[in-house]
Amino acid sequence: MCGGEGSRLDTDAEKPLYPIAGESMVDRVRRALAASRIETTYAVVSPNAPETRSHLAESGMALIETPGAGYVPDLATALDDSRVEPPILTVTADLPLLTAELVDDVCRAYRARVRTRADDGADASTDDAPRQPSMTVCIPRTLKRHLGVSAEEAAVVDGLVPTGLNVVGAEPATDDDRSRGTESSRPLVHVLRSAGAVINVNRLDDVRIAQRHRGDHR
């Protein structure tokens, strides 16, 4: 996901193209994904970041065009693309310390959680196909504070802050599930404690923190 305005960073450069240790954030994220077990990667772009779009197109990256209406509507547009088949891993371009190992760990955790639900009988099959739930990847708010990384207080729930990593499943819980409070109506939550997930860059102070920690996340 690399089509946001990035206005909080307060620089002339588009946020995905802002360099960390001489390499743009979006290229650092691309490099981590390329080294991971992820099979196919698409860059979700928008008119809000035209230079980012051009940069990625010139590099041969497969693009998904969105209107730039915000994270949620742009993600919905991406999910409507015929090339995309959930469950998918979504990654924001402001995670410059992301590593292939972290990506693979999240994918393994998702598969394990889905298997556990199936073994426990929490998710019934529909038309012989098991549900594929979504999973929110979070980090403790205390860890963000410890590192000095900015966080939107409105996003904090039970002491956890969402990262720029998520797994979007194929089948959301039904209204009947929610009304009965079934296990399938509860979102999966996976907690990380790695700086690669904690340090997402929204402000210039975050840039300086990412620069300091980059040595362990190349």
What tens-digit pLDDT sequence spans the chain (218 residues)?
998 877 788 788 899 999 999 999 999 999 999 999 999 999 999 999 999 999 999 999 999 999 999 999 999 999 999 999 999 999 999 999 999 999 999 999 999 999 887 777 655 544 444 478 999 999 999 998 888 888 776 677 888 999 989 999 976 545 454 444 445 556 799 999 888 888 999 899 999 999 988 765 54
Number of domains in the chain: 1
Query: Is residue 83 in a domain?
Result: yes
- Give CA separation, 25 vs 15, 92, 100, 156, 204, in Å: 8, 10, 15, 24, 13
Supply the CATH number for residue 108's domain.
3.90.550.10
Neighbour-count burial of 110, counting CB atoms closer than 10 A to its CB (0-12 exposed, 13-18 middle, 19+ buried): buried
Q: Which domain holds residue 103?
A: 7-216
pLDDT score, position 178: 45
Q: What's the pTM value of the predicted model, to 2 decimals?
A: 0.85
Query: Is residue 104 in a domain?
Result: yes
Query: Is residue 1 in a domain?
Result: no
